[in-house]
Amino acid sequence: MEKGHGLLIILSGPSGAGKGTLCQELLRQMPDLRYSVSMTTRTPRPGEVEGVHYFFRPRQEFESMIAGDDLLEWAAFCDHYYGTPRFAVEQAIRAGQDVILEIEIQGALQIKKRFPQGVFTFIVPPSLDVLSERIHKRGTETEEVIQKRLATAIQELEYISEYDYVVVNDEVPVAVDKLKSILVAEKCRVKRKPFVFKGEST
């Protein structure tokens, strides 16, 4: 990675693993970290705000952006499209800002092909029972959709080996501390920024 470029941090994992909660807490503790707002064709859930949680777009517009290669990644999940607008993310990274993406696994694998320098972290719940409980507590989806998400989660666990790190989200403060440690370590990696001594040796 060129000197001065920011990090692209990718968080993904099963629905209900707590990715959103971890992102919010990271952003609270790390004000210089930039959150990339994703785009989706699904309808807003109660409390979700356009441009804050997602950019909500009709299917036709989303498909036009796919055709125009205007998305850094995109995926179809539970009959809806999700994706990341390309320009804003690339511009921030070139400017030296660290950008965090909270995306589904299909999208993360697309980004890994296009941007292997990213920091890929898989978030998992302590158990499938805990995952089921978290999804039910949302109260926003039918039982049929919930069971579909749980079945998908089991399949998604097979992709852990594609990631650089895995973090179990049991207690949020502990999981956030692990993520912060990962970011510090990545900033120190030699391959990202070769070390040069200041001044001349005598």
Tell me the domain boundaries of the chain.
8-187
- The string of pLDDT tens digits covering residues 129-150 is 777 787 777 777 788 887 887 8
3-class SS letters over 104-148: CHHHHHHHHHHCCCCEEEEEECCCHHHHHHHHHHHCCCCHHHHHH
- The string of pLDDT tens digits covering residues 2-61 is 446 899 999 998 877 889 899 999 999 999 999 888 899 999 999 999 988 889 999 999
Query: Could you tell me the strand order of the sheet in which 99-102 lies?
Result: 34-35, 99-102, 8-12, 119-124, 165-168
The CATH number assigned to the domain with range 8-187 reads 3.40.50.300
For the chain, how long is the longest CA-to-CA vector? Answer: 72
- The string of pLDDT tens digits covering residues 154-195 is 888 889 999 999 999 999 999 999 999 999 999 888 877 655
